[in-house]
Amino acid sequence: MSATFTQDEIYRYSRHLMIPEVGLDGQRKLKETSMLLVGAGGLGSPAAFYLAAAGVGRIGLVDDDVVDASNLQRQILHDTAHVGELKAESGKEKLLALNPYIEVNAISTCFNSESAAGIARDYDIILDCTDNFATRYLINDLCVLTGKPEVYGAIYRFEGQVSVFDSRRGPCYRCLFPTLPPPELSPSCSDAGVFGILPGVIGTMMATEAIKLALGIGSPLVGQLMIYDALETSFQRIAFPKQANCEVCGQTPSIKSLLDSTQSCGDATLFSLSPDERITPSDLAEALQKPVPPLLLDVRSPVEQQISSLENAVNIPLEQLSDRLDELDRQKEIVVFCRTGRRSARAVEILHSAGFPRVKNLTGGINAWVSQYQPGAFQY
């Protein structure tokens, strides 16, 4: 049965109805379309707002995280009053306040290989608004295996990317990026930072592509990667083909079911360290009082030292560590730290693999240290 409209809806969408490419029939298509946004953060915020305003009939928000004050610099779907609340629920409230004529489903569940198919089953278009590679590959494989189109977006500091993956008529994400990059080359926003306005540009472009797909108008970015540089205010479009040997959408695919994605949820550390490879701030404070204290290795970006630092620490950013191992004494005890302990956990693995026998990760990173031992310094 075709969607019907009230007088209030007709007036609300009237600027759409006057566009020949949309009109009443197109607005009806939007109302009959369902879209799932995986991630209600930086990219999901502007995308969800514009999809709701446009009249997309059913929107699903998947996010198992809660609103943190550090999100508010860019995640405009949330506000100060909702800090500590589930992002999916916070987002639902905002979208319905903007447009009460749509349906919004808040899904505060981890989107992983066990739950993904069930969550996405009843949605027509999937938007990848995530910030980690494990989930990106999962979304891609799900869309290929179920024949759904995917709108992809990614951000890093001042650069953003947008594309549309639809294996029925073009390449998929694995055609462009066949293998998962190493963690040190794929930092999240919490590790690398992001220009606050950038997600607004990329998220809005994602909403544009999703609406074009729903309406069947224009030229969606299938087989095209749009790259935006905010510093240069430049756009670059790169064409890429479907790969015959792609593991999931190629001629003889090897991936026929969703792969395990236990690394895709929450802010869990991707590396399992033994108790002997960890040190608490209190234990570090004690160790620093010894005649021969451990070497402190800071694997953060140099700019982060403007916020907080540990005296006498050696700074080697994680992405440079493998090339600068000769700057470190293999015989010394080394305590590695970053902001929260995530990047430094990876550094511990790199050092162990390179033959450094006495390496430990500072639990909770410099933020935990500042909290206990430098109350006048900043956490971030």
Which of 68, 66, 48 minimizes the C-alpha distance to 58? 48
Tokens (6 digits) for 22: 């949309």
Q: Is residue 266 part of a domain?
A: no
Residue type at position 308: S
Which of 217, 239, 261 is the endpoint of a domain?
A: 239
Q: Is residue 228 part of a domain?
A: yes
One domain, residues 151 and 280:
no
CA dist 129 to 36, 107, 346, Å?
A: 10, 14, 25
One domain, residues 173 and 318:
no
Instruction: Give the CATH number of the domain where residue 340 resides.
Output: 3.40.250.10
- Averages of pLDDT over each 10 residues, the chain, 380 residues: 91 98 98 98 98 98 97 98 98 98 97 97 98 95 98 97 97 95 75 94 98 98 98 98 98 93 52 90 97 97 96 96 96 96 95 96 98 93
One domain, residues 324 and 213:
no
- The residue range of the domain holding 357 is 275-373
* Under 8 Å between Cβ of 135 and 120: no
Which of 172, 153, 177 minimizes the C-alpha distance to 163? 153
One domain, residues 314 and 183:
no
Q: Is residue 7 part of a domain?
A: no
Q: Is residue 307 part of a domain?
A: yes
One domain, residues 225 and 157:
yes
Pairing of strands 295-298, 314-315: parallel
Across the beta sheet with 334-337, what order do the strands follow?
Answer: 278-279, 359-362, 334-337, 295-298, 314-315
Q: Is residue 27 part of a domain?
A: no
One domain, residues 317 and 213:
no
One domain, residues 234 and 280:
no
Report the Cα 203 to chain-centroid distance in Å: 12
* Predicted TM-score (pTM) of this structure: 0.88
Per residue, what are the HEC states of the chain? Answer: CCCCCCHHHHHHCHHHHCCCCCHHHHHHHHHHCEEEEECCCCCHHHHHHHHHHHCCCEEEEECCCECCHHHHHCCCCCCHHHCCCEHHHHHHHHHHHHCCCCEEEEECCCCCCCCHHHHHCCCCEEEECCCCHHHHHHHHHHHHHHCCCEEEEEEEECEEEEEEECCCCCCCHHHHCCCCCCHHHCCCHHHHCECCCHHHHHHHHHHHHHHHHHHCCCCCCECEEEEEECCCCEEEEEECCCCCCCCCCCCCCCCCCCCCCHHHCCCCCCCCCCHHHEECHHHHHHHCCCCCCCEEEECCCHHHHHCCCCCCCEECCHHHHCCCHHHCCCCCCEEEECCCCHHHHHHHHHHHHCCCCCEEEECCHHHHHHHHHCCCCCCC
One domain, residues 292 and 189:
no
Q: Is residue 18 part of a domain?
A: no
One domain, residues 173 and 99:
yes
Active site members: 189, 338
pLDDT at 217: 98
* Total structural domains within the chain: 2
Q: Is residue 302 part of a domain?
A: yes
One domain, residues 214 and 308:
no
One domain, residues 177 and 296:
no
Please state, as a whole number, how many other Cβ atoms lie within 10 Å of the Cβ of residue 98.
14
One domain, residues 63 and 198:
yes
Instruction: Give the CATH number of the domain where residue 227 resides.
Output: 3.40.50.720
Q: Is residue 25 part of a domain?
A: no
CA distance linking residue 214 with residue 54, whole number of Å: 11
pLDDT at 93: 98
